[in-house]
Chain A
Amino acid sequence: AQSVTQPDIHITVSEGASLELRCNYSYGATPYLFWYVQSPGQGLQLLLKYFSGDTLVQGIKGFEAEFKRSQSSFNLRKPSVHWSDAAEYFCAVGNNAGNMLTFGGGTRLMVKP
């Protein structure tokens, strides 16, 4: 069975600082990987996705993520965080049958002025 672990439940960074959110997955084949963001009281918005090819993926709002097969990781990064990035971030893995996403528990990001 597939699974996703986000080791950090809460992270606080200063505005303008760099950010890295960790995601580790377990899946038997080449995974489909996703990062979503959820603002308070809102639904989920896709930040970026990896299906194949270049292991460094660019997304919206200046985010990027790198797929590392040897480490079973798909960490999310941003070079300079803005106050509007404060939200909850979810990593997810999709199975190759194309019909199921498994989500991590989420990382809540707080941004200090």
Chain B
Amino acid sequence: NAGVTQTPKFRVLKTGQSMTLLCAQDMNHEYMYWYRQDPGMGLRLIHYSVGEGTTAKGEVPDGYNVSRLKKQNFLLGLESAAPSQTSVYFCASSTPLAEQETQYFGPGTRLLVL
């Protein structure tokens, strides 16, 4: 039982390049989330999904796209990377919070955009 895994762990991009971050969970969770973490700002929600084939915008969605083609995977895409997207990205998964569970977090992906 690996929990939540993220690929890659670290990446350097040049401005304008694209990339996809992969998140996978093996807990059969319906809900999945992508956050970014910046110093002094905590974690901010980028996009989330409440089930396979559905996605929704969070607090800071601009410049990102997501897809949830399979229940266990949640992809985060950057079509044209900008230096402002330098951050640490965390994926999480959960059952609905009303079931008194919490979100389980992956180890993070550190992204540097030059």
Contact = CB atoms under 8 A, between A and B. Distances in A.
Contacts, number: 61
A109 to B, nearest CB: 15
Contacts of B43: 44, 90, 101, 103
A37 B103 CA distance: 13
B42 A106 contact: yes
Interface of B: 4, 31, 33, 35, 40-45, 48, 50, 56, 58-59, 90, 96-100, 102-103, 105-108
A80 interface: no
Interface of A: 4, 6, 9, 32, 34, 36, 41-46, 49, 51, 90, 94-106
Nearest to A51: B100
Interface centre among A32, A34, A44, by most chain B C-beta atoms within 10 angstroms, is A44
A103 B58 CA distance: 13
